[in-house]
Homo-oligomer: A and B are copies of this chain.
Amino acid sequence: MPSKGATLELAVLGLLQESPLHGYELRKRLNLLLGWTRLLSYGSLYPALKRMLRAGWITEVVATSPTVSRRARIVYQITPAGTEYFASEITDAGPAAWEDENFNMRFAFFSRTDAAVRLRILEGRRSRLQERLDRARVLSSGADRYQTELRRHAAESVEREVRWLTDLIEAERGNHDRGGNDRAPQTAPPQNVAPQNP
């Protein structure tokens, strides 16, 4: 079962699928990929790598570089089992996929995700955010100026994100009629094909 901490593991596998990496470099890339809030610490990454080794998703190779004699780096490589696990998780468009952290990670690997799954994840994410807005619209008693302003701003942020998702969904649908998929997700002008309204 994809418990919560699967996010880090999946992100590592996603990066290792492109090329083998050592821990230090991995951390930097993870922070670039997902590090908008707190930075990932080594005390978090290295134990995760050990777990993944035990799970058989990655293998480690001590890189003894003959030319440049840096400190021996331990390079991690993804295994077939790891590739399989990544593929199966990335295919799963269940509720776990539209959690905050998880969603960003899924999105980051969208180029390796089926178009249908992409769409489901985007829509799931959007309706989850919409629920949040509805839940919060039951506006509150006893809120002072600052609390009111805080909520207003938070709601506005969520609304913006909903619009962002809507644009992405439209873009996805727009180039869906082509079998090959994998086109730009950018807010492209809506192509007028046959409107497929729900």
Which residues on A are within 8 Å of B, measured CB to CB? 18, 29, 32-33, 36-38, 100, 104, 107-111, 132, 136, 139-140, 142, 144-147, 149-150, 152-154, 157-158, 160-161, 164, 168, 184-186, 192-194
Contacts and interface: CB of A to CB of B under 8 A. Distances in A.
Given A111-B144, A146-B193, A184-B145, A164 B153 contact: yes
A146 to B, nearest CB: 4
Contact of A36 (B108, B158, B160, B186): B158
A32 B140 contact: yes
A111 to B, nearest CB: 5
> Could you tell me the dominant secondary structure of chain A's interface residues?
helix
Given A108-B150, A140-B32, A37 B100 contact: yes
Contacts of A164: 153
A27 to B, nearest CB: 14
A96 B144 CA distance: 24
A79 B36 CA distance: 38
